[in-house]
Amino acid sequence: MHESIEGASRHPEPDRPQRAGGHIAARPKRASRSLVRVWAWTIGALSFLSPFALFGLYPKPAAGTPPAPSSAEVAEPRRPVVVVVTKKIVYTQSASSSTTSSGPINYVYAPAAPAVATSCGTPPC
């Protein structure tokens, strides 16, 4: 019955090679979580510090040699940049000086809207 349960398992255990004495070979031991973290931090620190070590190993130029000319000194002089600014200015005259007055202005107000009668059944509506 034990064999039938193991055979029906979703994840059967892989077949391990047998040693000469008929014993099954043991699995390799996994590293602990703390050991994996130590290795990760060590590799991360080394990868961060490696460019600085390479710059330290780079040979220094001799003291008597003149510095190489920079690209700005070798390049041709640049053309001046011309920026054209166009402003649109509109002159207008005030309205009072351009029109001739024909007399005083009379304002006419429209009558108020007539009151609308409502009936609500009680005297103070």
Residue 109 pLDDT class (50, 70, 90 cuts): confident
Which of 6-10, 49-53, 92-96 has the highest mean predicted lDDT (pLDDT)?
A: 49-53
pTM: 0.31
Helix, strand, coil shares of the chain, percent, nearest 5, are 30, 0, 65
**Beta carbons of 125 and 118 less than 8 angstroms apart:** yes
Angstrom distance (rounded) from CA 16 to CA 22? 11
Q: Which residues make Cβ contacts (< 8 Å) with residue 31, sequence separation at least 6?
A: 39
Interval 61-99: pLDDT, tens: 777 777 666 665 566 778 888 999 999 888 887 765 555
Distances (CA, A) of 32 to 20, 25, 26, 27, 41: 30, 21, 18, 15, 15
